[in-house]
Amino acid sequence: MIIIILCSIILFSCKGNKSDQVNIDKELNRISLTDDYIPALDFQETRYVSAYSNLYYRSAKTNVYCTVVLSIRNTSLTESIYVDKVDYYDSFGELISSYVQETNKLRPLETREFLVEYNDQEGGSGANFIVNYGASNELKDFPIIEAVSIGHVGNNGFAITSPSQIISSNPKS
């Protein structure tokens, strides 16, 4: 009888009060940071990044699906960059999703990540991102923009990194 009472006391004392719990909502795919002041962007650059959301496995009829993480890393210790476009396209060049709705600031050493979920199979084998960013002056330290595709076949996991490729750079002098 004493054991039942002790077990009941322990069981009921371990329940936390849900109103005391803090719910942290970290949203990877949408930049919500707003900045009151966005300077004239005298430097603009657009980059292409491959996103391997689908890979062929053994034949063209069998696919392996991947989670894709696009990472934008401001490597500067002193300069902010301003991201105004992160668009995700499928293998046919059709826009699937626009992740950025307005120009947003990435402070020195700040990183933003955008996620394509494993169960999102729209991209195909040729999926890609187009990223546009700018700065008030030409940058000394350029950001690292890359995608990491993560998947598994059976018990074997893998990750593929895709560096970005500059497709347009417009320093305004």
The pLDDT of residue 26: 44
Tokens of 83: 């991201």
Tokens 């371990």 -> residue: 14
- Asked whether the beta carbons of 87 and 103 are under 8 A apart, the reply is no
Tokens of 132: 């546009």
The pLDDT of residue 23: 40
Q: Which residue type, as a one-letter code, is found at position 149? A: S
75's CB contacts (< 8 A; 6+ apart) are 109, 141, 142, 143, 144
Q: List, in sequence order, every residue forming a beta bridge with 156; answer none if it has no partner.
A: 153
The number of helix segments (H) and strand segments (E) in the chain equals: 1, 12
3-state SS class at 3: helix
* pLDDT over 70 (residue 89): yes
Q: What is the pLDDT of residues 13-70, one digit of tens each?
A: 554 444 443 443 444 444 445 556 788 889 999 999 999 999 888 888 888 999 999 9
Q: Give Cα separations from 171 to 87, 90, 135, 138, 139 (angstroms).
A: 22, 29, 9, 6, 10
Q: Give Cα separations from 103 to 35, 116, 127, 171 (angstroms).
A: 9, 21, 24, 18
Confidence (pTM): 0.77
Distance CA 65, CA 81 (A): 32
- Asked whether the beta carbons of 82 and 41 are under 8 A apart, the reply is yes
Q: What is the CATH number of domain 40-171?
A: 2.60.40
